[in-house]
């Protein structure tokens, strides 16, 4: 075997990341690339979107974690990183861009560039990466690939792309059909043009395999047997199993003093190959690998040869923008459905999450039963909670609140988001009417002429809480909305909360159909007959403002005379399904979400109706006095 000084047979490598707005077809394209590069046996049955391998990803049809794979094409190894498109995970995308030399930017041929397209494209261009643009889903009936091509060029100019970047290869693709073509007149038949563009356009990694070892950790993984794993590209030299390596603490790039940083041995090395990780003895500069043997590695840390401790520029980790309180379950049903219920268990689990989930923060509060958990958005926090509940945890969650900051002159600042909405013209009025009081400012309105209007707003994050369900109602489920964090701006003052009140169960018991039948005329119910409820649990939404205590366990009075048959045969409206994210957007300050492996329940913080009445009277007195 050659030593580091004489490394000769460097494989031909290309490293690319696939980036796009959510749902523009990244993972579907990776399926086709794997297939056409011969990763699967011809008769092998493979699930759709095979890279979306964790259960929550499969269930929701979205990518949550960036993942590596690799294919071979004409003797070149192409490392591919599939990334999540949802804005809450934008920081993850930003980090993995450090291990690639090129990006494949996918843009839906009907939707065009979206806020997340802009965000990831800006990051990629600023890092000097070589872009290849795929105008994707050209098979869609409403595709307008030429318009979208122009829009992407406009975006590049806007983002001050270099001349070389502006000269990017543009391909028209269908992830679903596995085709790519540089010219619309000549429909594609396979992905050859894409593979060829990657080989021709994306530069091979430039790291020198004969220099002293150096590698940046771009992302982390965890194995039950090996513990913490670091993933990144070897920047220089060769990574070898058994060799001593220094893990440098985070800091300024450049040489660090002798002795700074812990030393440890590389215990295992893996490279990517199709859906597998292949255990190897060494990895030369340019290739992407997984290393184990270091408990203290973190994203952004540099691993180096102990004799040449040269730190690489770190990776900025994004700040959280919203917080919730995670509280031990103290509902009357606590402990019935979960395995892990105690404050200690919940706390340990939350702290364990910090190891991998770098944009997350966990803080203690005055109460040992409550921890404040902060993240990048409702989906980011919702995914963690959903994962915990599947693992058997039980806990309660408060209404999210935004994380404010203090500005240069001492003023209060809050997070603002960019909100993009696509609606039919006929719903425009309803949308504008709701967004005004939420302090949304219209930034752009475009009417491409197909009856659909695209609106872009700047809105305080707080203004979005609870908006999605209004939006879906107001557009009869036909509109689409996306939002992503923009920046911090002036505190927007008080914002109106939920318009409608809730129905609150006034006693414990099993829900009875008869009771629901009577209530559903003035309410939308959240529960079904047979479900157990407790006093203070929220069982429905009032069609008017103001909360109402109701008895959902009320049986029909038995009389001697049979009433009409229709009474025995109540037609119930389907209940509103309460998901975790729905709950996060829905509840008010005096309410909580109770999360257990079996159920998501909404409740009042104060369970007893008498206590709530007293508190309301006291609040009214204070309001009168001021
Ligand atoms: N018509 C059409 N639909 C496609 C195409 N590619 C993907 N889709 C569909 O678009 C949806 C999203 O596809 P994904 O591959 O999961 O998109 P993604 O970009 O990986 O999404 P995230 O990872 O969540 O950001 C799925 O329903 C796909 O079937 C395409 O070329 N044409
Ligand atoms: Mg995906």
**CA 566 and chain centroid, separation:** 48
* 19, 104 contact by CB (below 8 A): yes
Q: What residue's CA is closest to ligand 1, atom 32? A: 137
CA of 287 to the centre of ligand 1 (A): 28
pLDDT 10s digits, 89-126: 888 898 899 999 999 999 999 999 998 999 999 999 99
* pLDDT greater than 60 at residue 565: no
Region 127-142 average pLDDT: 96
CA of 64 to the centre of ligand 1 (A): 14
Determine the pLDDT at residue 558: 66
Over the range 5-29, which residues count as b (16 or more CB within 10 Å of their CB) and which as e? eebeebeebbbbbbbbbbbbbbbbb
Residues 489 and 404: their CA atoms lie apart, in Å, by 10
Closest by alpha carbon to 317, among 461, 220, 400?
A: 220
CA of 25 to the centre of ligand 2 (A): 7
Ligand index nearest the alpha carbon of residue 105 = 1
CA of 135 to the centre of ligand 1 (A): 13
- Length of the chain, please? 626
| Packing angle of the helix pair 26-36, 192-201 (nearest 10 deg) | 90
Determine the pLDDT at residue 120: 94
Closest by alpha carbon to 136, among 34, 7, 219, 29?
A: 29
The phi and psi torsions of 464 (rounded to 5 degrees) equal -85, -20
Q: What residue's CA is closest to ligand 1, atom 7? A: 25
Question: Which of 23, 30, 57, 120 gets mutated to test ligand 1 (max ligand atoms within 8 A of its CB)?
Answer: 23
Region 196-202 average pLDDT: 97
Question: Which of 18, 24, 25, 141 gets mutated to test ligand 1 (max ligand atoms within 8 A of its CB)?
Answer: 25
pLDDT 10s digits, 46-97: 888 999 988 889 988 999 999 999 999 999 999 999 999 998 888 889 889 9
pLDDT 10s digits, 386-416: 999 999 999 999 999 999 999 999 999 999 9
Determine the pLDDT at residue 9: 52
Determine the pLDDT at residue 10: 54
* pLDDT greater than 90 at residue 357: no
CA of 200 to the centre of ligand 2 (A): 25
Distance in angstroms between the alpha carbons of the first and the last residue of the chain: 82
Residues 456 and 418: their CA atoms lie apart, in Å, by 7
Q: What residue's CA is closest to ligand 1, atom 14? A: 25
Residues 329 and 315: their CA atoms lie apart, in Å, by 37
Question: Which of 28, 120, 379 gets mutated to test ligand 1 (max ligand atoms within 8 A of its CB)?
Answer: 28
Determine the pLDDT at residue 369: 95
Region 236-243 average pLDDT: 96
pLDDT 10s digits, 322-344: 999 999 999 999 999 999 999 99
CA of 63 to the centre of ligand 2 (A): 4
Beta strand segments in 267-340, E = 268-273, 276-280, 282-284, 288-292, 302-304, 310-311, 322-327
Q: Which atom of ligand 1 is nearest to the CA of 48?
A: 29
The torsion defined by the Cα of 234, 240, 243 and 245, in degrees rounded to 10, comes to 10
Residues 86 and 93: their CA atoms lie apart, in Å, by 10
CA of 26 to the centre of ligand 1 (A): 6
* pLDDT greater than 90 at residue 260: no
Region 509-516 average pLDDT: 93
CA of 28 to the centre of ligand 2 (A): 7
* SS3 sequence of 454-488: EEEEEEEHHHHCCHHHHHHHHCCCCCEEEEEEEEE
Closest by alpha carbon to 415, among 427, 398, 402?
A: 402
CA of 143 to the centre of ligand 2 (A): 20
CA of 111 to the centre of ligand 1 (A): 12
How many CA atoms lie within 13 Å of 11's alpha carbon, on the beta-carbon side? 20
Mean pLDDT for the chain overall = 91
Determine the pLDDT at residue 48: 87
DSSP state of 88: G
User: Taking CB atoms and a 6 Å cutoff, what residues make up the pocket around ligand 1?
Assistant: 20, 22-28, 49, 61-63, 84-86, 136-137, 139-140, 174-176
* pLDDT greater than 80 at residue 4: no
Residues 78 and 203: their CA atoms lie apart, in Å, by 11
Region 259-279 average pLDDT: 93
Residue bearing the bigger pLDDT, 447 or 610:
610
Residues 255 and 53: their CA atoms lie apart, in Å, by 40
Ligand index nearest the alpha carbon of residue 22 = 1
Q: Which atom of ligand 1 is nearest to the CA of 31?
A: 15
CA of 461 to the centre of ligand 1 (A): 27
Region 280-290 average pLDDT: 96
Q: Give the DSSP letter string of 486-554.
A: EEEEE--------SS-EEEE-S-EE--HHHHHHHTTSEEE---TT-EE-TTEEEEEESSSS-EEE-TTP
Ligand index nearest the alpha carbon of residue 62 = 1
How many CA atoms lie within 13 Å of 248's alpha carbon, on the beta-carbon side? 29
Determine the pLDDT at residue 622: 85
Ligand index nearest the alpha carbon of residue 172 = 1
Question: Which of 64, 175, 383 gets mutated to test ligand 1 (max ligand atoms within 8 A of its CB)?
Answer: 175
Region 274-298 average pLDDT: 93
Residues 46 and 50: their CA atoms lie apart, in Å, by 7
Confidence of residue 18 (pLDDT cuts 50, 70, 90): very high
Q: Which atom of ligand 1 is nearest to the CA of 63?
A: 23
Region 119-141 average pLDDT: 96
Q: Which atom of ligand 1 is nearest to the CA of 86?
A: 25
Ligand index nearest the alpha carbon of residue 114 = 1
Closest by alpha carbon to 390, among 95, 110, 57?
A: 57
Q: Which atom of ligand 1 is nearest to the CA of 21?
A: 25
């Amino acid at each position: 075997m050659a030593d580091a000084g004489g490394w000769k047979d460097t494989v031909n490598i290309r490293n690319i990341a696939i980036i796009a707005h959510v749902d523009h077809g990244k993972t579907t394209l990776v399926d086709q690339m794997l297939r056409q590069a011969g990763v699967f046996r011809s008769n092998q049955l493979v699930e759709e979107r095979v890279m979306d391998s964790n259960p929550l990803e499969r269930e929701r049809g979205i990518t949550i974690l960036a993942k590596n794979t690799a294919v071979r094409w004409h003797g070149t190894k192409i490392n591919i990183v599939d990334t999540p498109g949802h804005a809450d995970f934008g920081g993850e995308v930003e980090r993995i861009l450090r291990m690639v030399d090129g990006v494949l930017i996918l843009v839906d041929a009907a939707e065009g560039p979206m806020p997340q397209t802009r965000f990831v494209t800006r990051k990629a261009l600023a890092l000097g990466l070589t872009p290849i643009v795929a105008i994707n889903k050209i098979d869609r009936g409403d595709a307008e690939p030429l318009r979208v091509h122009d829009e992407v060029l406009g975006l590049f100019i806007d983002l001050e792309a270099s001349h070389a970047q502006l000269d990017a290869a543009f391909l028209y693709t269908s992830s679903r059909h596995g085709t790519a073509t540089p010219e619309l007149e000549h429909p594609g038949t396979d992905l050859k043009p894409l593979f060829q563009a990657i080989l021709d356009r994306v530069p091979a990694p430039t790291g020198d395999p004969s220099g002293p070892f150096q590698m940046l950790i771009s992302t982390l993984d965890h194995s039950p047997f090996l513990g913490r794993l670091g993933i990144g590209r070897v920047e220089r030299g060769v990574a070898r199993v058994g060799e001593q390596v220094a893990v440098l603490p985070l800091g300024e790039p450049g040489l660090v003093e002798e002795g700074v940083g812990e030393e440890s041995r590389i215990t295992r090395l893996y490279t990517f190959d199709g859906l597998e990780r292949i255990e190897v003895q060494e990895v030369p500069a340019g290739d992407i690998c997984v290393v184990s043997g270091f408990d203290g590695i973190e994203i952004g840390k540099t691993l180096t040869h102990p004799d040449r401790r040269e730190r690489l520029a770190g990776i900025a980790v994004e700040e959280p923008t919203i917080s919730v309180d995670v509280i031990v379950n103290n509902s009357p049903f606590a402990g019935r459905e979960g395995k892990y219920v105690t404050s200690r268990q919940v706390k340990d689990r939350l702290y364990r999450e910090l190891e991998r989930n770098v944009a997350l923060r966990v803080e203690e509060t005055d109460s040992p039963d409550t921890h404040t958990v902060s993240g990048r958005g409702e989906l980011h926090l919702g995914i963690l909670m959903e994962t915990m509940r599947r693992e058997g945890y039980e806990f309660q969650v408060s209404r999210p609140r935004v994380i404010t900051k203090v500005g240069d002159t001492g003023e209060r600042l809050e997070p603002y988001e960019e909100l993009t909405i696509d609606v039919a013209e006929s719903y425009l009025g309803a949308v504008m009417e709701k967004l005004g009081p939420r302090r949304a400012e219209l930034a752009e309105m475009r009417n491409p002429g197909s009856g659909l209007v695209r609106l872009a707003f700047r809105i305080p994050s707080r203004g979005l809480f609870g908006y999605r369900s209004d939006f879906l109602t107001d557009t009869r489920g036909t509109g689409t909305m996306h939002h992503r964090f923009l920046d911090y701006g002036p505190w927007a003052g008080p914002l109106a909360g939920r318009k409608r009140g809730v129905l609150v169960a006034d006693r414990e018991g099993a829900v009875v159909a008869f009771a629901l039948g009577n209530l559903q005329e003035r309410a939308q119910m959240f529960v079904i007959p047979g479900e157990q409820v407790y006093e203070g649990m929220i069982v429905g939404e009032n069609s008017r403002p103001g909360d109402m205590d109701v008895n959902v366990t009320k049986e029909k009075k038995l009389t001697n005379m049979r009433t009409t048959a229709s009474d025995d045969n109540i037609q119930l409206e389907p209940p509103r399904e309460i998901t975790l994210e729905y709950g996060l957007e829905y509840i008010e300050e005096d309410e909580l979400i109770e999360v257990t492996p079996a159920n998501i329940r909404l409740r009042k913080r104060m369970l007893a109706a008498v206590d709530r009445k007293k508190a309301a009277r006291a609040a009214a007195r204070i309001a009168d006095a001021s």
